[in-house]
Chains A and B, each alone.
Chain A
Amino acid sequence: MNKNQVLILRLVSKNGDLTASSFLKILSKKTGIPLSTLKLNLKILREAGLVSYGKIGNPQPVKLTRIGEIILQILSPEINDEPVDCSMHFLNESDKKIVQNIRTKTFLQAYSSKTGHLPSSLSSTNIISAIFKIFRPNLIGSENSFVLSKGHASLTLYAVLATEGVIGENELPYFCELGSRLQGHPDKRFIQETLVSTGSLGQGLSIGVGIALGKKLKNRKGKVIVLLGDGELDEGQIWEAAMSASTHRLDNLIAIIDRNLYQMNGSTEQIKCLEPLKEKWISFGWDVVEVDGKKFEEVVAVLQEVKVYQKKPTVIIAFTERNGGIEHIDKKIFYYIPSQEDYNKMVITNE
């Protein structure tokens, strides 16, 4: 067995839900080993019956087989001498629970208030949760900043802030009620940890550019993360900001696009065509990473990569769905008020 195969075997044993392609992509970036080399070796390992990862069209998480586990144990002494950095983050069970919990809290607010933008919030659940997991932005002691440019995903932001203890869980049922701090769109006058008030689309990236520039001028560390909706890319100001970011070489600025393919009245491609989106950002001088935003652990992995290896302003295009994976909610609608039944189901799944 060669060195690469041992490395793959060892990391597969720590894998959570990553599919073969995401797993190898991250590993290749992290180690510098060409993707094709890794692919070949993983294939050899599967043919030898040591790992499994489903098929094309039906990918499954990469896992060790029982034989794989035994081989790994036999190889253990050899592995200890392996110098490659193996500190990759993989999802553990408790993370899954946290995200599920955040989704329930999002539901609770929408269900209690009979208002809010639930689909857009569900679409961003993995992304916002991952941002807070990796960067802990806007919180006391953190040097990282987060701007929720798509302010209508406030339900998720509040759910995360409740999980972080910034707002009380008992506040969640009062979303949008007169006198509540939980405004329809994030409002700094009520909650400092929103960092900046948003709600008017297309403005968050410029603010992020200003913060990132300010950090650089003051020699401060820390990243600036801006979450954009794909619909708000219609606004010209986004592209003004995109040019500013590359002009000033802001390698501390990360934009994430919640690419759920829909805006209020239909498909982004029919209303104001965004594609080829990746190429647009590349041509604006950004590094572009694409990720499956439906998988929390993949978003986490990408953010960890960017946190360490960023060279330019970087945009992560996260492919998501407006229903956040809840099948009975239509992916195409922008407005959905959960029923009692919806909410109960949510709570039961969570428990």
Chain B
Amino acid sequence: MSNQIASAREAFGETLIEIGKENDNVIVLDPDVSASTKTFIFRNMFPNRFINVGISEQDMIGIAAGLALEGFIPIVTGFSMFILRGWEQIRNTIARDKLNVKIIATHSGLSDFADGASHQCLEDIALMRVLPGMNVVVPSDPTSIKSLLKQLVYINGPCYMRIGRDFAPKIYESEDEIVFGKANLLEEGSDLTIIACGLMVYFSLEVREKLLENGFNAAVVDLHTIKPLDRELNKVCGNSDKVVTIEEHNIIGGMGAAVCEILSEKGFRIKRLGVPDMFGESSRNYLQLLEKCELNVKIFTKNILNFVKGELS
């Protein structure tokens, strides 16, 4: 594991170029936030396949649907919070008609820390995974953003990818390590399994170190594909029947809930960790905001120790 910090949105911007070169049908839609989402790199290279639709997310989703009907692979970009403004359009057109539209939502979770609760998005996993036929992925680092984005372009059907703004420590060395739809066992462990997504995968690897100091050996799984959920997830979890989920999302309805839906039927005991049912707030520092919203290695370690020792938390 390396501590190199890269930027999620920059990795996204760069990967778009690669995809654009490979496939003439890729067209990028932007609700006038290209300077923030880094899609301007694509615009400069492929001006004819970049449409700034203006600050109108609902219109953007409709236009993407129309372009998909004409054979394009629209990549819809924007802040995750504001893409949700077009949720009903996504539900009623993109998902229902299984249109080949890729929604790449940046600034998710609390990553847009300074902008405050209006811009922070802790609800999108729940709202997207409930849509029939929608593929939902949450990459954990720049390499997995690159890998999954390239894979999504070749999946026929609607996809939602959730990425943060910047802070994205490196986890993977090679893009080949990530396969859409397959939970990734990063570290083995016999006492419990931590299942995480997004930035929380990196946190989980740190939590694992703390737990080792306390005599517990935790497996760590990167569950980057939340829908369709890996049917073999129970096998990835190894010998222990204890599972902890960690996500940068409202504790209700997100990745942890998805895991419960599968594993609770297979005899696992599950503890979910995430943002309590609340909104975020402004902070000048991302990590401080995460801590205030109970996303912090120390807090996780304490909760997990209570859980594995059988105590109520």
Chain A residues with a Cβ under 8 A of chain B: 145, 187-189, 195-197, 199-200, 203-215, 217-218, 220, 236-237, 240-241, 243-244, 247
Contact = CB atoms under 8 A, between A and B. Distances in A.
Given A217-B48, A244-B54, A206 B69 contact: no
Given A200-B88, A213-B63, A240 B69 contact: no
Contact of B93 (A207, A209, A215): A207
A197 B70 contact: no
Contacts of A213: 51, 63, 66-67
A185 B49 CA distance: 33
B97 A206 contact: no
Contacts of A220: 70
A69 to B, nearest CB: 50
Nearest to A147: B66
Contacts of B181: none
A203 B63 contact: no
Given A237-B58, A240-B54, A244-B53, A210 B92 contact: no
B63 A210 contact: yes
Contacts of A187: 96
B71 A218 contact: yes
Given A197-B97, A206-B58, A209-B62, A214 B67 contact: yes
B73 to A, nearest CB: 11
A214 B56 contact: no
A214 B69 contact: yes
Nearest to A185: B92
Interface of B: 27, 48-49, 51, 53-54, 56, 58-72, 74, 88-89, 92-93, 96-97
A203 B62 contact: yes
B199 to A, nearest CB: 33
Given A214-B71, A240-B58, A244-B59, A208 B96 contact: no
A237 B70 contact: no
23 contacts: A187-B96, A188-B97, A196-B65, A196-B93, A196-B97, A197-B92, A203-B92, A206-B61, A206-B63, A206-B66, A206-B89, A213-B67, A214-B69, A215-B70, A218-B71, A237-B56, A237-B58, A240-B56, A241-B63, A243-B56, A244-B53, A244-B59, A247-B54
B71 A210 contact: no
B91 to A, nearest CB: 9
Contacts of B60: 206
B66 A209 contact: yes
Contacts of B93: 196-197, 203, 207
Given A206-B62, A244-B53, 8 more contacts: A195-B69, A200-B92, A207-B66, A210-B67, A210-B70, A211-B69, A212-B66, A241-B59
B63 A237 contact: no
Given A206-B63, A210-B65, A244-B53, A189 B70 contact: no
A197 B54 contact: no
Closest 3 CB pairs of A and B: A210-B66, A206-B62, A214-B70
A207 B65 contact: yes
Nearest to A238: B59
Nearest to B62: A206
A232 B93 CA distance: 17
B62 A237 contact: yes
A240 B67 CA distance: 17
Given A199-B92, A244-B54, A214 B72 contact: yes
Contacts of B70: 210-211, 214-215, 217-218, 220
A209 B60 CA distance: 10
A220 B96 CA distance: 26
A177 to B, nearest CB: 20
A204 B49 CA distance: 22
Nearest to A241: B59
B59 A237 contact: yes
B59 to A, nearest CB: 4
A187 B92 CA distance: 10
Nearest to B99: A196
B99 to A, nearest CB: 8
Nearest to B96: A197
A189 B59 contact: no
Contacts of B66: 196, 206-214
A236 B48 CA distance: 27
Contacts of A236: 58
For A188, A207, A220, A243, the residue with the greatest tally of chain B CB atoms inside 10 Å of its CB is: A207
Nearest to A151: B92
A237 B97 CA distance: 20
A241 B54 CA distance: 10
Contacts of A206: 58-63, 65-66, 89
- Name the residue in A189, A211, A236, A247 with the highest tally of chain B Cβ atoms < 10 Å from its Cβ: A211
Contacts of A211: 66-67, 69-70
A274 B304 CA distance: 59
